[in-house]
Amino acid sequence: MENNFKKTKREGVVIFSPYESGSSIKKALEIGRENILFEVRESKMKGRGGAGFPTATKWMLVAASRADKKYMICNADEGEPGTFKDRVLLTEYPALVFDGMVVGGYTIGSEIGILYLRGEYIFMLEELEDFLQSMRKQNLLGKNILGKEGFNFDIAIRLGSGAYVCGEETALIESLEGHRGEPRNRPPYPVNTGYMGYPTVVNNVETLASIPQIITKGADWFKAHGTDKSTGSKLFSVSGDCEKPGVYELPWGTSLNELVEIVGATNTKAIQVGGASGICIPKSQFDRKLSYEDASTGGSIMIFNQSRKMLKVLKNFMEFFVEESCGQCTPCRIGNIKLLEGVVKIEKGDYTFSYINSLKDLSKTMQVASKCGLGQSSPNPFISILENFKDEIFSSNGNGANHA
Amino acid sequence: MLVYEKNSLSEEIELLIERFGKDRVALLPILQIIEKRHNYISEFAQQEVARLLDIHPVEVYSVVSFYNFLHRYPQGKNIVRLCKTISCDMAGKQEIEKALKRELGINFDETTRDKKWTLEYTSCLGMCDQGPAMLVNDKIYTKLDPETAVKILNDTK
Ligand SMILES: Cc1cc2nc3c(=O)[nH]c(=O)nc-3n(C[C@H](O)[C@H](O)[C@H](O)COP(=O)(O)O)c2cc1C
Ligand code: SF4
Ligand code: FES
């Protein structure tokens, strides 16, 4: 009933493979910045927070910039509906996450790391602080880390306050600076003008947790898993209609057919890949592969069986976006309300197809005209659910068959 | 608010500023602590924070109004936040919703008269594999059924 979120033993080829706390820091200090960057670049590691930006490129940009200060930020705002892998990493594998931050800090030349933890996860704060304290005792944090003259780095934890949009990296920085969590225009990117105006790396928890494994075991080992364009493995947060929900580490390239098998899902109708801002894939397309190049996701996998009404699912997502839009730009603020209105009208059977088409046009406008990823991707479920389940939703009784 | 209450709140905020620094970046941590201690951030508290951080009160107001976990009006001593996102919904959120409303005698977004309880919805809590889930103050509870949900309330009192 309560706090049973810790599993004793997990299995996985990369992240959940054995790791000795501190070992990647030791190795990183031995091989030096150039070789770390080389190894990360060779691994073709891409960001696990959703956008899939090459991690080495981000690090190189900050490493190469000249500034008095640089920041290494770990984005632990995990708020995409259906995502909980960062929770598992932070509670069960803090050494991977924090060692990854230290290695990153060393590589880019930063002395200050910040973990931005979503307010909902305050229950883990004490354990995380204790863990940081034990790292300080072992000189894995602090001054002259592991005897490396001049390498000082420490990590502070800051809490969010219940705003999904603060996971967007520039909104996160605004929030850290004591402002409303409203995304900034990009460019400039955080690598140039980040926290307090200094060059900043913002990385997802899972991205950072992969780094120690890459550093200690090598890029080739890492690349042996996954596909050519999506190297390594991914943590998938699986929820919904299946026997074994939970976090799974699977190589990139795993198909949805394989996935439903692994998690014990039967009678499946559809899978929402990538959370509320992702896309809904019907059973007929379960040969699609989880990867950056096909069905891309920050890890959220929500499974719906035949008994679920897809219009209800869509409504839940659109309510989420109406709630979580920061309201800063019009396409997103108004657009999501209009799309939700549309869903309600379809529910009531009070629509015409020209009206639906105008909402689809609006969706396209939102995708191009919104300021940040929230408004750019919130139409995704609207478009994909109406398209893939039109027979169910616009069935002949004229009211969407969703009155049941 | 009584004069001595105001004085003690001012003092409290001064101490917080000593701890976190007289700097804009301290704003959110300070507000989070005030919220935790007082169950909201009063207009007076907002003004004091603004004065002591040397920023315009509107700045503080705009931050308080932005974040879901910060409130401008008094909330209950305990805040229950039930996840309403789809995975928890499919796992039986509705039954929990009913049980909580019945037990506390209030609707969502309301506070009991004795100011002990506030009921809110929240978006995904990151516990979707163990839904339905709810947050009671700082603690997350998962795999709820109506009975356990009510028991948690009783144990929290
Ligand atoms: C609305 C919105 C919410 C986001 N939430 C998160 C989040 O919770 N965690 C995260 O790592 N990235 C999130 N991102 C992506 C970040 O902006 C950023 O791309 C990411 O933290 C970069 O890390 P990576 O390169 O390691 O993936 C979000 C983006 C948007 C638009
Ligand atoms: S797209 Fe939405 S969340 Fe992003 S800046 Fe615009 S209003 Fe805010
Ligand atoms: S859907 Fe309720 S915790 Fe994620």
Q: Per-residue pLDDT tens for A207-236?
A: 999 999 999 999 999 999 999 999 999 999
Within 6 A (CB) of ligand 1 lie A 47-51, 53, 75, 77-79, 165, 167-169, 202-204, 207, 372-374
Structure tokens given for A129: 């602080």
Cα–Cα distance for residue pair A279/A315, rounded to 1 Å:
14
Start-to-end Cα distance in chain B: 26
By Cβ distance, the residue of A1, A84, A323 closest to B129 is A84
Q: In sequence order, which residues have a C-beta less than 8 Å from that of residue A83 and are 6 or more positions away?
A: A237, A275, A298, A299, A300, B124, B126, B128
The SS3 assignment for A16 reads coil
Measure B5 CA to nearest chain A CA, in Å: 26
Evaluate whether A83 touches A298 at the Cβ level (below 8 Å).
Answer: yes
Cα–Cα distance for residue pair A204/A374, rounded to 1 Å:
17
- Average pLDDT rounded to a whole number, residues B74-100: 98
pLDDT tens per residue across span A33-51: 999 999 999 999 999 998 8
Tell me whether residues B28 and A120 touch, CB distance under 8 A. Answer: no
Tell me whether residues A2 and B63 touch, CB distance under 8 A. Answer: no
**Interface pTM (ipTM) of the complex?**
0.96
**Res A402: pLDDT:** 46
Q: Does pLDDT of A2 surpass 80?
A: no
Query: Given pLDDT bands bounded at 50, 70 and 90, which one contains residue A85?
Result: very high
CATH 3.10.20.600 residue window(s) in chain A: 233-305
Q: What residues in A contact B33, CB-CB < 8 Å?
A: none
Tell me whether residues A181 and B26 touch, CB distance under 8 A. Answer: no
Output the CA A330–ligand 2 centroid distance in Å. Answer: 8
Tell me whether residues B140 and A120 touch, CB distance under 8 A. Answer: yes
Tell me whether residues B66 and A237 touch, CB distance under 8 A. Answer: no
Question: Does ligand 3 come within 6 angstroms of the Cβ of B125?
Answer: yes
Report CA torsion sign: A384, A385, A389, A395.
negative
In CATH terms, B3-66 corresponds, of 1.10.20, 1.10.10, 2.30.30, 1.10.3470, to 1.10.10
Q: Does pLDDT of B4 surpass 90?
A: no
CATH class held by domain A13-223: alpha beta
Ligand 1 nearest atom to the CA of residue A46, by list position: 25
By Cβ distance, the residue of B67, B130, B138 closest to A162 is B67
Nearest Cα to Cα of residue A97 among A212, A200, A7, A222: A212
CATH 3.40.50.11540 residue window(s) in chain A: 13-223
Q: Does pLDDT of A157 surpass 80?
A: yes
Judge if B3-66 and B78-155 fold alike in CATH terms. Answer: no
For chain A, the average pLDDT equals 95
Ligand 2 nearest atom to the CA of residue A372, by list position: 4
Cα–Cα distance for residue pair A370/A381, rounded to 1 Å:
16
Alpha helices by DSSP H, listed for chain B, are: 3-20, 27-38, 43-53, 57-66, 86-90, 93-104, 146-156
Output the CA B14–ligand 3 centroid distance in Å. Answer: 38
- Residues in B lying within 8 Å of A, measured between beta carbons: 23-29, 31-32, 62-63, 66-70, 84-87, 89-90, 122-131, 135, 138-144, 148, 152
**Res A45: pLDDT:** 97
- Average pLDDT rounded to a whole number, residues A345-370: 96
Topology given in CATH for the domain delimited by A311-393: de novo design (two linked rop proteins) (1.20.1440)
List the strands of the sheet with B134-136, edge to edge: B110-111, B117-122, B78-83, B134-136, B139-141
Q: Does pLDDT of A363 surpass 50?
A: yes
Ligand 2 nearest atom to the CA of residue A324, by list position: 3
Evaluate whether A48 touches A206 at the Cβ level (below 8 Å).
Answer: yes
For A310, which residue in chain B has the nearest alpha carbon?
B86
For ligand 1, atom 18: residue with the closest CA: A169
- What is the CATH architecture of A233-305? Roll (3.10)
Cα–Cα distance for residue pair A386/A394, rounded to 1 Å:
9
Q: Does pLDDT of A71 surpass 70?
A: yes
Selected residue of A91, A161, A315, A323 to mutate for chain B interface (largest B Cβ count, 10 A): A161
In CATH terms, B78-155 corresponds, of 3.40.30.10, 3.40.50.1820, 1.10.10.10, 3.40.630.30, to 3.40.30.10
Nearest Cα to Cα of residue B79 among B48, B51, B111, B105: B111
Q: What residues in B contact A163, CB-CB < 8 Å?
A: 66-68
pLDDT tens per residue across span A266-316: 999 999 999 999 999 999 999 999 999 999 889 999 999 999 999 999 999
Proximal ligand: closest to the CA of A50: 1
Half-sphere exposure of B13 (CA within 13 A, CB side): 23
- Lowest average pLDDT, out of A153-157, A399-403, B124-128, goes to A399-403
So where are chain B's domains?
3-66, 78-155
Question: Does ligand 3 come within 6 angstroms of the Cβ of B130?
Answer: no
